[in-house]
Amino acid sequence: MAQPQLAKGIVVDSVERLAPTAMLNDQWNVVKELVAANIGSNHAKSWIEPLELLGLDGMVLVLGSPNTFAKDWIENHYLESLTKAWKQVNMVIQDVKIVISETQVTVANTNTVVSPIKVIESFDSIEKDESGRYTGAPLDNRFTFENFVVGKPNELAYAAALRVAESAKPQFNPLFLYGGVGLGKTHLMHAIAWKIRQCHPNRKVIYLSAEKFMYQFVRALRYKDMVAFKDQFRAVDVLMIDDVQFISGKDTTQEEFFHTFNALVDKNHQVIVSADKSPSDLENMEERLKSRLGWGLVADIHPTTYELRLGILQAKAAALNTIVPKEVLEFLAFKITSNIRELEGALNRILAHSSLVGRSISLDTTQEVLRDLLRSNDQRLTVEEIQRKVAEYFNIKMSDMVSNRRMQNIARPRQVAMYIAKQLTSKSLPEIGRKFGGRDHTTILHAVRKVQELCAEDFDFANDVEILKRSLQT
Ligand code: ADP
Ligand code: MG
């Protein structure tokens, strides 16, 4: 029987006529596992799991994606992996294609209600801007999409944020942005708010921190103003809550937030949330809230890379209209790895210093001015370097760092190396354990305690450890 031909682009009609067989369904389960093994279970859960198996069109396997954003992202990032896995489990398949699933499209269309602008006067603690629009908290005018430098660690969060800001109706709800401190979550939230004002000036946006949300909630309770509080938040088109981890353990605030959240999502109004952890890793949060937070798109911002840091420095220097030597920017990008806030702070300090003393910026002055900051950021040291140095110092073989020999003249230096690795690198105990011939993290912990104990008892030993540490730090 001839299969319906799929035209290029989205043809929901013909997709409907495809029907996956039981065999294809089984194969899809295998494919999902193969892909998850390849791209990691977190990514698989966000992107592959929501895909719907639509069927086989000739030699083309067709999958349905809930929205165009997901479709684009999967095509750019996971299609290769998907295709490979499908070809592996089904010899007939030559290609994999992603279309928008019709069911999802309809849901999005029928629910779109853009509520009229309503000015609520009674709630004065929510800030308004000059033109009377509610903002919740003032927006920083430096935090725009234009000023956001995109690199591999933040490309997903950026793309998702931009998409949410530009679309008239939610494509995924909520958008959950998460990442460590100083990596750009607040910047992206503000950028979304600015962009919405530009693209959809009539939509009512409230941006505020979870802390402020709680504060307002408590205040409403106290002044018996709950009706106004609820109306206020439920009447917005877009609600943005920054640092939602703040309400962990705060049960009644969580409860209220949960209801507000549901009320908005049910009306198909956009909710955007940021946090320092993924929804499932949030501690002291109600299960139902965690699971609800993970329903839409969860986008993580990864720690920075050298390229991203350099890009950001170049952009900031250019924006400030100052010339900073290339070697200085490269040095900073190499050394200051903690987060972008510190990176910016470092650049600002150098600029301030140079204008203060009236000297141009050089590598020497940079190192001088930033000495304390550089010390705390020095995480470039590898466990191998530590092992080599310690082995040399105590005159044992490098291979004994990973061996099982237990003589004290070998075991002790090994413990010293473990201890220093814990002190001077940001590696976790299990990671350090792996570098020492696959030892358990408890062994490392034991070594750390032992060396601390010995240092307290034995001055010479403490001295040895100190010398080693210092020589590794410079
Ligand atoms: P977070 O909210 O994740 O703790 P912020 O959004 O406050 O971090 O970012 C910290 C600083 O770093 C801000 O000044 C922000 O403008 C800057 N920043 C973060 N990411 C970027 C980026 N990709 N491009 C430019 N500046 C950035
Ligand atoms: Mg922040």
Ligand nearest to the CA of 307: 1
Handedness of CA 140, 146, 148, 154 (dihedral sign): positive
Distance 143 CA to ligand 1 centre (A): 8
pLDDT given for residue 130 in this prediction: 54
The ligand 1 atom at the shortest distance from the C-alpha of residue 143 is: 16
Residue 377 pLDDT more than 70? no
Fold of 7-100: GMP Synthetase; Chain A, domain 3 (3.30.300)
Pocket test residue of 340, 343, 344, 348 for ligand 1, highest count of atoms within 8 A of CB = 340
> Tokens 């977190």 map to which residue?
42
pLDDT given for residue 145 in this prediction: 97
Give the mean pLDDT of 363-378: 80
Give the mean pLDDT of 390-399: 93
Give the lowest-confidence range in 104-118, 171-185, 261-275. Answer: 104-118
Q: Between these two residues, 105 and 397, which has the higher pLDDT value? A: 397
Q: Between these two residues, 47 and 103, which has the higher pLDDT value? A: 47
Give the lowest-confidence range in 227-241, 286-300, 373-387. Answer: 373-387
pLDDT interval class at 2 (50, 70, 90): very low
Residue 123 pLDDT more than 50? no
Distance 243 CA to ligand 2 centre (A): 6
> Is any ligand 1 atom within 6 A of the Cβ of residue 312?
yes
CA 104 to chain CA centroid, Å, is: 26
> Is any ligand 1 atom within 6 A of the Cβ of residue 186?
yes
Helix (H) or strand (E) holding 119: none
Give the mean pLDDT of 329-351: 90
- Nearest residue to 427 (alpha-carbon basis) of 436, 335, 398, 279: 436
Ligand nearest to the CA of 152: 1
Residue 116 pLDDT more than 70? no
Give the mean pLDDT of 295-307: 93
Distance CA 245, CA 266 (A): 23
Cβ-contact 350, 361 below 8 angstroms: yes
Distance 185 CA to ligand 1 centre (A): 7
Please tell me the class of the 319-376 domain: mainly alpha
Helix (H) or strand (E) holding 121: none
* Within this chain, domains 120-301 and 383-473 share the same CATH topology: no
- Nearest residue to 416 (alpha-carbon basis) of 379, 456, 468, 378: 468
In the chain, what are the domain boundaries?
A: 7-100, 120-301, 319-376, 383-473
Phi then psi for residue 184, to 5 deg, are 110, 15
Give the mean pLDDT of 293-300: 93
pLDDT given for residue 465 in this prediction: 92
Beta strands in 147-252 (DSSP E): 175-179, 205-209, 238-242
Fold of 120-301: Rossmann fold (3.40.50)
The ligand 1 atom at the shortest distance from the C-alpha of residue 188 is: 6
pLDDT in tens, 226-244: 888 888 888 899 999 999 9
Q: For the purposes of burial, counting CB atoms within 10 Å of the CB of 200, is it exposed (0-12), middle (13-18) or buried (19 or more)? A: middle
Q: Between these two residues, 43 and 314, which has the higher pLDDT value? A: 314
pLDDT given for residue 379 in this prediction: 56
Distance CA 232, CA 227 (A): 8
Q: Determine what percent of the chain is predicted with pLDDT higher than 90.
A: 53
> Is any ligand 1 atom within 6 A of the Cβ of residue 292?
no
pLDDT interval class at 112 (50, 70, 90): very low
pLDDT given for residue 442 in this prediction: 94
Q: What is the mean pLDDT of the chain?
A: 85
State if pTM tops 0.85.
Answer: no
Q: What residues have CB less than 8 Å from 238, skipping those under 6 apart? A: 192, 193, 196, 203, 204, 205, 206, 269, 270, 271, 272
Cβ-contact 401, 392 below 8 angstroms: no
Pocket test residue of 183, 302, 307 for ligand 1, highest count of atoms within 8 A of CB = 183
Ligand nearest to the CA of 340: 1
Give the lowest-confidence range in 18-32, 232-246, 440-454. Answer: 18-32
Distance CA 176, CA 292 (A): 10
Tokens of 308: 């991203």
Distance 276 CA to ligand 2 centre (A): 9
Give the mean pLDDT of 431-458: 93
- Where residue 227 falls (left for φ over 0; alpha for ψ -120 to 50; beta otherwise) is alpha
Give the mean pLDDT of 185-200: 94
Q: What residues have CB less than 8 Å from 430, skipping those under 6 apart? A: 441
Q: Nearest 5°: CA angle at 46, between 42 and 51? A: 130
pLDDT interval class at 19 (50, 70, 90): confident
Give the mean pLDDT of 218-231: 86
Domain 383-473: CATH superfamily is DnaA protein, C-terminal DNA-binding domain (1.10.1750.10)
Which alpha helices (H) appear in 322-396, and where do they start and end? 326-335, 340-357, 363-369, 371-377, 383-394
The ligand 1 atom at the shortest distance from the C-alpha of residue 179 is: 3
Render 398-419 in DSSP notation, one character per residue.
Answer: GGGGTS----HHHHHHHHHHHH
> Is any ligand 1 atom within 6 A of the Cβ of residue 316?
no
pLDDT interval class at 276 (50, 70, 90): very high
Give the mean pLDDT of 10-18: 43
